[in-house]
Amino acid sequence: QVQLVESGGGLAQPGGSLRLSCAASAGSFFVINFMGWYGRSPGKQRELVAAETSGGRTNSADSVKGRFTISRDNAKNTLYLQMNNLKPEDTAVYYCNANIWTMSGGSLDYWGQGTQVTVSS
């Protein structure tokens, strides 16, 4: 199975920046369909923030476009979320997700433990 380890969360001031990291590892070879970052604000469902496929396509929520950038270092199997111009509304627990192909043609989701991002003065 795939393990996802997140880091980089913490406290930031409005207008500040953070970079989240998600390191993926497994005991055997695996092929990623897509990876992404999801956020869960208090009282809300977990929602997609940004995602990137192995082909390099990206998608992001309208609320973060122009401020957040998703990227992946394939050599390190690490996914990043560069968060700039942070707003208090960005406060949430951020989860790394990896969707990987199975040999039968389906896919499975793996999740990190979540990292807290708090934006406050």
Q: What percent of the chain has pLDDT over 70?
A: 99
Mean pLDDT, residues 103-107: 90
Of 26, 9, 27, give the one whose Cα is nearest residue 18.
Answer: 9
pLDDT tens figures, 44-66: 899 999 998 767 789 999 999 99
- Enter the DSSP assignment of 88: G
What integer best gives the mean pLDDT of the chain? 93
Instruction: Note every long-range contact of 39-43, with CB atoms under 8 Å and residues 24 or more positions apart, other chains counting.
Output: 39/90, 39/92, 39/93, 39/94, 39/95, 39/117, 40/92, 40/93, 40/95, 40/114, 41/89, 41/91, 41/92
pLDDT tens figures, 60-102: 999 999 999 999 998 888 999 999 999 999 999 999 999 999 8
- CA 121 to CA 116: how far, in whole Å? 16
**For residue 119, is pLDDT > 80?**
yes
- CA 55 to CA 48: how far, in whole Å? 19
Residue 73 burial (CB < 10 Å; 0-12/13-18/19+)?
A: exposed
Residue 32 burial (CB < 10 Å; 0-12/13-18/19+)?
A: buried
**pLDDT attached to residue 94:** 98
